Structure 1
């Protein structure tokens, strides 16, 4: 009966604290990102400036990812996460300073803009450590037999916070302004820093502690490329996020196409959160480990369809519905991908595998923002979004044809093996 319990992982106290910390962090980070997008676009009125935000975060996150994974596998995870959160608080405070008219009075607008880009760049460097640390820590909190259930709650927490944060940001910008909205971000980061110390220190499960960086990184990359289920899932998600980054252009849709202002912007950002929440309910009660490969392909195909509908729509209600199902399909995809990573990755390599994942998928959010900004500049905003959704559909079909390992993937057998071993 225990293995069918949809709340099994939630009965572990430390996992609940972990979810609370993760929700606060993702809510704050995504809220901050969207406020920065709004402020930068307000300063420049240029879609390309939104793409540059993605570029400035992508470059350090991508270039430091493998090194960060090596460090995570060598260090204690709880304290490393606390250090990352503390540094994040400096970024959020800096952005609050740069957006407060009383502090930057008399500053040239370009100086403010470049300073914002500098903090975004530092945030990208820091984010390269966040992903591997969180991925490794959750595996030390819950037993292996609960990985799929924990992945469901953890991934959906990320998804809901990742959309509720920007949605709240959209409303808070109209209610209290940009600077005060960023003060809320700062408060959330400090809260997560306080809560993380309620998680106990965890053992370092790396039998090769002290291994050279070169050998460590080579082993991590080699493992990912040899494990076709992991490689296929990561690659598929990367391409879909890269070309399906319609969300990065929401300020343009809200201000210039749908003409719904900051309040409508908040509603558009909230729509995927509702879909993600329903995903949490469904995947928690109905396991998705069986035929996971086909479910993943179907979810991302649906994701591409939603992107195309959103791009083509000029009706606010239609756009909301499209973004709702955008959240549903993205949530299903995320839960399956995280389950694949957790079940297929050895304990001592979690940091490095998560780093490769962040290079492929995490950084593709920012690279997707860059792609969206660039294509919007070249093709026009609507055409760029439809193009991205079409590329996502082509990628799904190609992956299904050329990667039979992923297409036929069934995680229920892996789960049964872990249950027998405990």
Structure 2
């Protein structure tokens, strides 16, 4: 029976892929450490300066180097051992956490130090994100990749939920304890990924040129399925995100206060976690293109429901379902992009993808705030949800190759059969 018609290996087979499981555990530790570190730095900065502006600068100082270095980082990822790149990135983050621990103990912490280290974290993530994304397809057979992507997403969402919660509990013992825990998590993740062994053939040495730096952009532009999947996510997050407005909803519309804001912030992650677990057990095998578009449209509908809801329970459910729909989008999109991209290009394509993700998140928050200033929070969220649904419908026409995609591993199987 051809591989494309055979049943995908089960979850137990995936857990026996030791390099992948080591990478999964490393990513779990790294993500939890990152979430805890972000909570700690934000609290630390506000405790030092009491300035909301400085809190915004922390995010900006992390975003700018990631944006500026992304294309060069993709070039590096495609020319060096990806596991070692991730290990170095985790080691640098461990050094940042340890520096903050020592600085706090010696009372040398300052606004300038926190902003400077935020620049370092942003630069590190420019390399870490594409390296992690491009590494996963090297650790499992192509037919296992959809299940592996879903399982990776489940671990990431679990860490996103647990990291801030654990960090909050550790704050009781002092911020130094949080920085110490972050250091241990990053070191543990770095050790795991540094020990990875996989087939790696270094490409011939070549100078860094504009052509090599922009090769990922050119590749995405020429592959309409990849372009459609990435741009669909860009516009969905840009238009449909409502995270920046959640404090307004919690305080002025749903009248819940800080505890309600915490639940609203966590609801999408809970929905995403449950969906990723389901996709790990039962991956989507047919009609993946239309399923992707339907998931994005469902995300938009959830935002419309959330926007007009005045019930806290309905709002929580809408956000949870939106997180589940977004997870379907994430798993299908990331798997399609990785399978459509040859290995020698995965780093640069993943780097461009990370630019789209970062830009959509940052610009999406700005778009939400700007439209809320003009139309009010309800008008902003509802308009964004309607726009997301229209984008999903429009992509049916603009990217027919994406809409007609049936099997997620079709390209990989086809290329394999030609060898």
TM-score by length of 1: 0.83
Following the alignment from structure 1 to structure 2, what is the Cα–Cα distance between the partners of residues 256 and 174?
Answer: 29
Change (3 A) 1:371 1:122: farther
Shift of 1:375: 4.8
What is the match of residue 413 of structure 1?
410
RMSD over aligned Cα atoms: 3.4
Residue from 270, 275, 285 that aligns with 1:274: 270
Aligned residues: 412
Does residue 336 of structure 2 align to residue 340 of structure 1? yes
CA contact (8 A) 2:61 2:118 kept: yes
Instruction: Report the Cα offset of residue 4 of structure 1.
Output: 4.1
Residue 193 (structure 2) aligns with:
196
1:351 aligns with 2:347: yes
- Contact conserved, 1:163 with 1:269, CA < 8 A, in 2? no
Alignment of 1:10-159 (within 5 A): 10-34=15-39, 36=41, 52-93=57-98, 103=107, 112=111, 115-159=113-157
Q: Match for residue 3 of structure 2?
A: none
Q: Corresponding residue for 1:392?
A: 388
Q: Which moved more, 1:355-364 or 1:245-254?
A: 245-254
Q: Distance in 2 between matches of 1:30 and 1:271?
A: 16
Q: Contact 1:73–1:349 (CA<8 Å) still a contact in 2?
A: yes
Residue ranges of structure 2 left out of the alignment (5+ in a row):
1-5
1:58 and 1:367 in contact (8 A); partners too: no
Contact 1:289 1:336 in 2 (8 A): no
TM-fit CA distance, 1:61: 1.4
Q: What secondary structure is seen at the aligned counterpart in 2 of 1:74?
A: coil
Give the unaligned 5+ runs of structure 1: none
CA deviations 1:173-226 (Å, max 9, x no partner) are 8856766545433332222123223323652353x4324332322332211110
1:239-266 C-alpha deviation (Å, 9 max, x unpaired): 2222333234445555666565554444
Distance 1:102 1:298, change over 3 A: farther
Q: Distance in 2 between matches of 1:390 and 1:182?
A: 42
> What's the CA shift for 1:117?
4.1
- Greater RCO, CA 8 A, separation 6+: 1
Deviation for aligned residue 1:20:
0.8
Mean Cα deviation higher: 210-219 or 174-183 = 174-183
Match of 1:3, SS state, is coil
Asked whether the 8 Å contact 2:151–2:277 carries over to 1, the reply is no
